[in-house]
Amino acid sequence: MYPKKQLAQLVISACKHYSITTVVISPGSRNAPLTVGFFNIKEFETLSIVDERCAAFFAMGIAQQTQKPVVIVCTSGSALLNYYPAIAEAFYSKIPLIVISADRPKHLIDIGDGQTIRQENVFQNHILYSANLIEDDKLLEENSNLITAAIETSISKKGPVHINVPFNEPIYETVEKLEEYVFKKINFQANTIAKSIDYDSFASIWNSSDRKLVLIGVNYPSEKLQEVLNKYSDDTSVLVFTETTSNINHPKFVHSIDNLISKLEEKGYKKLQPDILLTLGGMIVSKRIKQFLRKYQPKHHWHVDELTKMDTYFCLSEFIPKKPEIFLEKLRRKIKFVKSDYQSIWLSENTERINKHKKFMKDAAYSDLKVFEKILETIPSFSQIQVSNSSIIRYMQLFKINTTATVFCNRGTSGIDGSTSTAIGAAFATKEQTVFITGDLSFFYDSNALWNTNVPSDFRIILVNNAGGGIFKIIPGPKSTNALSYFETSHNLTAKYLAKMYDFEYCFASDAIELDKKLESFYEKSDRPKILEICTPSDKNNVVLQQYFKSL
């Protein structure tokens, strides 16, 4: 049973041609030709998610882990707009998504027909390519070229594309045969002039500098990158800062940037100011490091990324469009180690800060901070950790993470809107146990994420419930106003009944002793996914955190 619509057959055949295997479909009528087609072809794994916003983030979580495009399909009208938050996140996080929307034909738009909006180019500010098809059998080649360009763009440039497919009625007619179509490959490389890299010039600057800072943001785990960075660790003029989401670890790398650079005086900042700043990966969480590098700018800032140029610190001197591991390996062959005390000074300072961290945490009061220490001590080795935004990812940055774990967070737009859905998609796509650590606002905002029949039984949610947006008590601005309640959004909600409704195993803790007890069995095998809700004192969390940074 295949759709009779030629346009539907063409889109589906193209996805099959490009070996796309996962299709997330949200219910609707206008998208019936696409739904029927994808469902009846064995090469596709079709998954049904009702809420389009959740569906898009769920698909993004799958694509995040597989590093391959995932298709999302919806009906016409406002359904499509619910994809936008995930599309923006995928755009900035470089995650391949293929958005296929059914649409009404043009003559039905803006005349008062139901479930009809202006869908063409609706994502134009955050999309890599928009293919607006026309339902006309005479335009087979034109439509085919548009579809091909969209899919190849998503694959080669790693991001979201949109294919808008208008269907006239009737839309439920089927045939017994799927037509075979030929798709012409578009050679993107032929249209791109590759920039030659003068490694001798880079090496000359490198060899004449005795303070080099390597800063690594969001990064998909890479053994090759880890290996080549390890080789730089013996260079005493090189200091490496890694964020939790970098998935890079080494005893000589600084993993908690804020712990090290907070409370430095002017003299300390000038001593840390690098001659060369080499940045790798995506978004940086630490506001402190961004403020530092914008004020104490390096002489040279090189950003290395295969696709994206980022001038985060307003001093970019060179964008190097290469895979970081390739650039670093070729550069390494031409450089020499420079004798310097840059690394030793800051690693020594970092050791002092780590000791102060341990001393404070030993007697720290029960709070968000103490809860994170307990959580991170118990997460099983080789887990995948998914993290929500706001204060949760910031707390994570203060602790050393088990080096066998991988860590992911939606830092493209840093929103709270789809963290749970993304985590479930990632859990669905990986064999490792996934532990999702989230705040209460993120969790309740995306509670429809649990309305999903594809949640693995070993999926674990740790919900840190501090009864509001804790981040707004941490940052200084909101407290200076008389409208704090509109920032913090206090509440008395609990996940207990959501867990019951969606058939999650549920447990609760509100003090350190209870938390220790619940964590003992939380990760054990079960026939249902689990939620551990941890309540923390809203009036103490920010006080403890302030004391913590003061102690450093």
Dump the DSSP string for 216-249. Answer: E-S----HHHHHHHHHHTT-TTEEEEE-GGG---
Query: Over the stretch 67-108, which tens digit does the pLDDT of each residue have?
Result: 999 999 999 999 999 999 999 999 999 999 999 999 999 999
At residue 285, φ and ψ (nearest 5 deg) are -80, -45
Query: Over the stretch 394-436, which tens digit does the pLDDT of each residue have?
Result: 999 999 999 999 999 999 999 999 999 999 999 999 999 999 9
Distance in Å from the first CA to the final CA of the chain: 67
Name the nearest CA neighbour of 119 among 30, 45, 11, 183: 30
pLDDT at 187 over 90: no
Angle value at C-alpha 514, between 513 and 519, nearest 5 degrees: 100
Alpha helices in 397-475 (DSSP H): 419-429, 440-445, 471-474
Q: How many CA atoms lie within 13 A of 502 on its CB side?
A: 20
Cross-strand partners of 23: 46, 71
pLDDT at 303 over 50: yes
Q: Work out the percent of the chain whose per-residue pLDDT is above 70.
A: 97
Three-class DSSP category at 186: coil
pLDDT at 448 over 70: yes
pLDDT at 470 over 80: no
Q: What pLDDT is stored for residue 143 in this prediction?
A: 96
477 confidence band (pLDDT: 50, 70, 90) = confident
468 confidence band (pLDDT: 50, 70, 90) = confident
438 confidence band (pLDDT: 50, 70, 90) = very high
Mean pLDDT of 481-502: 87
If you write DSSP's letter for every residue of 113-182 in order, what string do you get? -TT----TTTTTTS-SEEEE----GGGHHHHHHHHHHHHHHHHHHTSEEEEEEE-PSP---EES-PPP--
Write the CA distances from 455 to 363, 424, 449, 511, 515, integer angstroms.
38, 6, 10, 29, 24
Write the CA distances from 510 to 239, 280, 396, 444, 546, integer angstroms.
40, 40, 20, 19, 22
pLDDT at 469 over 70: no
Q: Provide the whole-model pTM.
A: 0.95
Sheet architecture: strand order including 45-48: 45-48, 22-25, 70-74, 97-103, 160-166, 129-132
Q: What pLDDT is stored for residue 172 in this prediction?
A: 96
CA distance 509 to 532: 8
Query: Over the stretch 323-341, which tens digit does the pLDDT of each residue have?
Result: 999 999 999 999 999 999 9
Cross-strand partners of 63: none
272 confidence band (pLDDT: 50, 70, 90) = very high
CA distance 476 to 198: 45
Enumerate residues 6+ apart whose C-beta is below 8 A from 534: 371, 462, 463, 464, 465, 508, 509, 510, 515
pLDDT at 190 over 50: no
Mean pLDDT of 286-313: 97
Q: What pLDDT is stored for residue 489 in this prediction?
A: 82
